[in-house]
């Protein structure tokens, strides 16, 4: 599930960053549009894979609970797993929010493409959305970096 979230949030971030880069003259509008088209095309699959991964997720249970009489090697492995599980929690929370933003934006784009939202209104929605996006993408990226630094469970 974490991998599917990472893919989707990466695409959402690329989508948002394309607008920021174009606004600052770092890329052309044509380059921005190509990045938009690529990420927009990948978006529905991002959401579907993320949802399927969420549904398939199985609870860990007490597999990593401390064992009172565990030998030191096993105790260290259990402690590492507990640290990794603790580091996953912020990633799961922030991923849900960022993926929710990506899903909402994909729906916004679909409503515009279907003619349900006029261009000027769609543009206003997009400007508000992309300016707000870092508030959810950045915490996810920080949490993911902390997870990358956490011990592995072996």
Average of per-residue pLDDT across 142-149: 96
Report yes or no on 154 lying in a domain. Answer: no
Domain that holds residue 130: 2-149
- Structure-block tokens of residue 70: 């565990």
Q: What is the dihedral of CA 93, 99, 104, 105, to 10 degrees?
A: 140
- The pLDDT of residue 60 is 60
Report yes or no on 88 lying in a domain. Answer: yes
> Phi and psi at residue 131, in whole multiples of 5°?
-70, -30
- Structure-block tokens of residue 41: 């095309």
pTM score, two decimals? Answer: 0.89
SS3 annotation, 60-105: CCCCCCCCCCCCHHHHHHHHHHHHHHHHHHHHHHHHHHHHHHHHHH
Between CA 52 and CA 102 the distance in angstroms is 16
Count of structural domains within the chain: 1
- Residue closest to 152 by CA, chosen among 62, 59, 89, 88: 88
- The pLDDT of residue 69 is 75
Report the share of the chain in percent with pLDDT over 90.
79
Can you tell me which residue has the tokens 């006029």? Answer: 118
Average of per-residue pLDDT across 38-51: 98
Average pLDDT of the chain is 93
- For 122-141, how does the pLDDT look when each residue is reduced to its tens digit (9 = 90+)? 999 999 999 999 999 999 99
- The pLDDT of residue 34 is 98
Report yes or no on 46 lying in a domain. Answer: yes
Report yes or no on 111 lying in a domain. Answer: yes
Report yes or no on 73 lying in a domain. Answer: yes
Report yes or no on 34 lying in a domain. Answer: yes
């Amino acid at each position: 599930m974490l991998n599917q979230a990472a893919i989707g949030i990466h695409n959402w971030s690329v989508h948002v960053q394309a607008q920021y880069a174009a606004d600052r003259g770092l890329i052309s509008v044509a380059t921005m549009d190509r990045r938009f088209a690529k990420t927009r095309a990948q978006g529905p699959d991002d959401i579907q894979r993320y949802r399927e991964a969420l549904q398939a997720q199985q609870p860990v249970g007490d597999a990593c609970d401390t064992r009172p009489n565990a030998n030191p090697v096993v105790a260290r492995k259990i402690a590492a797993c507990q640290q990794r599980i603790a580091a996953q929690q912020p990633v799961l929370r922030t991923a849900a929010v960022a993926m929710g933003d990506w899903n909402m934006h994909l729906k916004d784009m679909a409503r515009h493409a279907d003619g349900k939202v006029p261009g000027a209104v769609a543009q206003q929605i997009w400007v508000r959305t992309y300016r707000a996006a870092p508030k959810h993408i950045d915490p996810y990226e920080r949490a993911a970096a902390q997870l990358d630094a956490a011990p592995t469970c072996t």
